Amino acid sequence: MDHLSYLDAIILGVVEGLTEFLPVSSTGHLTIAEKLLGLRVDDPAVTAYTAIIQLGAIAATILYFFRDIVRLLSAWGRGLVSAEARGHRDYRLAWSVIVGCIPIGIVGFLAKGLITGPLRSLWVVAIALILWSVVMWVAERRHDVLARVNAQRGEDQTTLKDGLVIGLVQCLALIPGVSRSGATISAGLLRGLDRVAATRLSFFLAIPALTAAGLYELKDINASVVGGGQMAIGIIVAFLVAYASIAWLLRFVAHHAITTFVWYRVALGVVLVGVLAAGVMSAT
């Protein structure tokens, strides 16, 4: 494979930043972008690079939610030593996030060979884009039903079970095309959380999961393919674009259904199936 250029790094950084937190699958879009750039999507160095530039998106999340993170960590720390503090909603929310991060850590480690190998196929991306869109549509329908009877729960009513269930569903996002945010937001809506609460919890769960994945992949970076400059550019671009995407998405979900993204996902999946079936593009 050729050396990753600075232009490639910028393009991949933009794609990562735009799609990491939107329910459209960043891995799926990065796989498509890599293929269009002439890169081998199943090359370990390319796979590692796309995981590492997620650190830029995670840095944007940490900065955007810094006060919330400090609040939750403080509440969790107080709850460890004070029985009274354990009744606070932030203590419960902190534990929900902690518990929710455990499943993807275990599954991601055990299934790494599958994730970076056979699943790195555009056929997988296309099928997952279409099939998970059905789940998102169902989740939004449940949201509408609960909203009509005012039975939704906010962030302050998040339970440990919510964190565990959403964390388990997050594991499905290891399949390219599903979308980590699409999986976790959908799970939150199906659990009865409102859109904003489900989306914010999705962000909180992303921080440890994606940070661990990015740091773990550092060992697979090939200096002959990806230089330090390209890596830095990709991370910086991903950070800037992701920060803007986070702010936009939180405003969007407060007033709009996530089914808006369903039509895009299905259209992209159908186009991708057509392109692959016609032999215009290879799957790997």
pLDDT digits (tens, 9 = 90+) for 80-90: 988 888 888 99
Region 175-197: mean pLDDT is 93
Q: What is the pLDDT of residue 1?
A: 44
pLDDT band per the 50, 70, 90 thresholds, residue 110: confident
Residue 2 has pLDDT above 90, yes or no: no
- Summarised one tens digit per residue, pLDDT across range 55-67 is 899 899 999 999 9
- Residue 281, phi then psi, degrees to nearest 5: -140, 140
Model confidence, pTM: 0.88
Domain segments of the chain as ranges:
6-277
Residue with tokens 């964390």: 167
Q: Give residue 219's pLDDT band: very low, low, confident or very high (50, 70, 90).
A: low
Structure confidence at residue 14 (pLDDT): 95
The average confidence (pLDDT) of the chain is 88
Q: Which of 39-48, 158-167, 243-252 has the lowest mean pLDDT?
A: 39-48
